[in-house]
């Protein structure tokens, strides 16, 4: 929340679309009705629906209620504008700043402005960026494109964030929060206000006295590296760093730094799935593979490799395998190990086939691992194999167990 604890002192708030240039002209303020201003990228109905949905995000968890007015000054005046648009905080053209809003106060307080130079959309299919889904040729590299710039920013998501400011929320440093200052693409149809935002807004206004309208998903929380019971979805090396996956999130840690950096998977690879099953790096071809259910995605840097996602059968796994629990690649021997339930599959990178004698029980190769493997990776000739919050350190050459460790060994609690 803002340092001055800024909030509205009433529960019923009004909002209105208005052209900000016109609003500042005295003639307009003296009675001439402003012209309503809509984004040229979307239909009027789509803009209306996006704004109403964005306000309902906050109404759903507080006593606040919103009603639209079509004349006069509303508490929350909403407009599209470009460059200098009358509030001394000019927009910057395409990309960069998408929108801004003012904290609760009379006058300009509560107002939300959207940068008309951005391409806004109602929704994108499947919460992904269609232009990235087709993949890019493997030879292309370079800097990543801004997230979904080619298909547009979902107005609902941007508006819901801005209305958080309009109601008194500052920025959150939780990368999973709606109030995190960086745009994160997600599917508006399945959006649920994260726990951090719920706690923030309810600290100002309290909960919705009517309670939730029906059974719905719990507000999502952000995984905590300091949680000793944390069970990671997957772990892999990538270009000299270690990546730890959990839900929608990943932590990346450079091996020469002790501080992990948390982000959303979608911010790295907009076409990648959340809640992956396994991840593995193949350094020889500079690729990282992400496994989920029966599919595998390959990325080179930020780019999806052409032809992916593919079936996990492309790694020789039989059709009976529904998902991979963990994977690691021993670059020295060229063997990719897949953990599936209590079984181990070994894929020979040279022959591109499963090794004879596999699958076999995991504890035949790694005798101390009796539980289900949840994640695994190779680092400096050692296999690090997770079973829940416990991590086994094996020499890959001798398969000898060296140490039992926990998450915090690599994923430090800061």
For the annotated catalytic residues, the residue numbers are: 162
Q: Measured from the CB atom, is 38 or 268 closer to another protein? A: 268
Query: Which tokens sit at 288?
Result: 């990282």
Sketch the per residue contact string, 151 through 190, with another protein: x for CB under 8 A, - otherwise: --x----x--xx--x----xx-x-x-----xxx-------
Look-up of token digits 């950096």: 261
Selected range binding another protein among 38-46, 54-62, 67-75, 85-93, rule: CB under 8 A = 85-93
In whole angstroms, how close is the CB of 183 to another protein at the nearest point?
4
Q: Using CB under 8 A, pick the residue from 203, 261, 353, 395 that binds another protein.
A: 261
Query: Which tokens sit at 201?
Result: 């807004």
Q: Does the footprint of another protein cover residue 6 (CB under 8 A)?
A: yes
State the Cα–Cα distance between residues 253 and 204, nearest whole angstrom: 36
Q: Does the footprint of another protein cover residue 3 (CB under 8 A)?
A: yes
The SS3 of residue 279 is strand
Q: Does the footprint of another protein cover residue 89 (CB under 8 A)?
A: yes
In whole angstroms, how close is the CB of 384 to another protein at the nearest point?
22
Query: Which tokens sit at 362?
Result: 């995991």
Q: Measured from the CB atom, is 52 or 241 closer to another protein? A: 241
Q: Using CB under 8 A, pick the residue from 14, 49, 97, 365 that binds another protein.
A: 97
Selected range binding another protein among 71-79, 93-101, 292-300, 349-357, rule: CB under 8 A = 93-101
Contact (Cβ atoms closer than 8 angstroms) between residue 42 and residue 121: yes
In whole angstroms, how close is the CB of 226 to another protein at the nearest point?
13
153 — phi, psi (to 5°)? Answer: -95, 135
In whole angstroms, how close is the CB of 306 to another protein at the nearest point?
24
State the Cα–Cα distance between residues 19 and 332, nearest whole angstrom: 64
In whole angstroms, how close is the CB of 89 to another protein at the nearest point?
7
Q: Does the footprint of another protein cover residue 146 (CB under 8 A)?
A: yes
Cis peptide before 309 (omega within 30 of 0): yes
From its phi and psi, is residue 327 left (phi > 0), alpha (psi between -120 and 50) or beta?
beta
Contact (Cβ atoms closer than 8 angstroms) between residue 43 and residue 3: no
Q: Does the footprint of another protein cover residue 75 (CB under 8 A)?
A: no
Q: Does the footprint of another protein cover residue 353 (CB under 8 A)?
A: no
Instruction: Give the DSSP letter string of 320-352.
Output: T----SEEEEETTTTEEEEEETTEEEEEETTTT
Q: Measured from the CB atom, is 8 or 338 closer to another protein? A: 8
The helix (H) or strand (E) run that includes residue 53 is helix 44-59
Sign of CA dihedral 106, 109, 111, 115: positive
Q: Does the footprint of another protein cover residue 91 (CB under 8 A)?
A: yes
Task: Count interface residues toward another protein (CB under 8 A).
Answer: 46
Q: Measured from the CB atom, is 27 or 143 closer to another protein? A: 143
């Amino acid at each position: 929340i803002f340092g001055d604890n800024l909030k509205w002192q009433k529960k019923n708030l009004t909002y209105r679309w208005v052209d900000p240039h016109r609003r500042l002209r005295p003639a307009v303020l003296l009675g001439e009705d402003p012209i309503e201003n809509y984004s040229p990228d979307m239909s009027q109905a789509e803009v209306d629906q996006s704004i109403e949905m964005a306000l309902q995000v906050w109404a759903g968890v507080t006593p606040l209620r919103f009603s639209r007015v079509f004349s006069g000054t509303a508490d929350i005046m909403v407009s599209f504008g470009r460059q200098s648009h009358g509030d001394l905080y000019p927009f910057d053209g395409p990309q960069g700043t998408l929108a801004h809003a003012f904290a609760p106060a009379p006058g300009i307080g509560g107002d939300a402005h959207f940068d008309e130079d951005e391409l806004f959309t109602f929704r994108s299919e499947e919460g992904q960026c269609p232009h990235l889904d087709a993949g890019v040729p493997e030879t292309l590299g370079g800097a990543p494109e801004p997230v979904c710039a080619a298909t547009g920013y979902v107005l609902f998501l941007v508006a819901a964030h801005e209305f958080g400011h309009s109601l008194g929320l500052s920025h959150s440093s939780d990368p999973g929060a709606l109030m995190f200052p960086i745009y994160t693409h997600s599917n508006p149809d399945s959006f649920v206000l994260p726990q951090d935002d719920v706690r923030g807004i309810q600290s100002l206004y309290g909960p919705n006295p009517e309670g939730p309208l029906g059974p719905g998903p719990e507000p999502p929380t952000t995984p905590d590296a300091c949680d000793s019971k944390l069970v990671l979805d997957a772990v892999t090396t990538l270009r000299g760093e270690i990546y730890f996956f959990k839900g929608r999130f990943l932590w990346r840690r450079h091996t020469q730094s002790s501080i992990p950096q948390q982000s959303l998977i979608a911010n790295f690879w907009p076409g990648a799935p959340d809640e992956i099953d396994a991840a593995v790096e193949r350094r020889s071809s500079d690729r990282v593979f992400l496994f989920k259910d029966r599919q595998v995605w390959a990325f080179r840097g930020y780019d999806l490799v052409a032809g992916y996602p593919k079936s996990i059968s492309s790694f020789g796994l039989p059709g009976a395998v529904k998902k991979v629990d963990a994977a690691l690649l021993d670059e020295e021997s060229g063997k990719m190990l897949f953990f599936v339930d209590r079984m181990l599959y070994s894929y020979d990178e040279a022959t591109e086939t499963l090794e004879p004698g596999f699958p076999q029980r995991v504890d035949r190769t790694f005798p101390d691992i009796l539980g289900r493997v949840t994640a695994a990776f190779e680092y400096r000739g050692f296999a690090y194999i997770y079973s829940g919050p416990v991590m086994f350190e094996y020499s890959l050459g001798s398969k000898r167990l060296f140490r039992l460790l926990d998450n915090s060994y690599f994923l430090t609690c800061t």
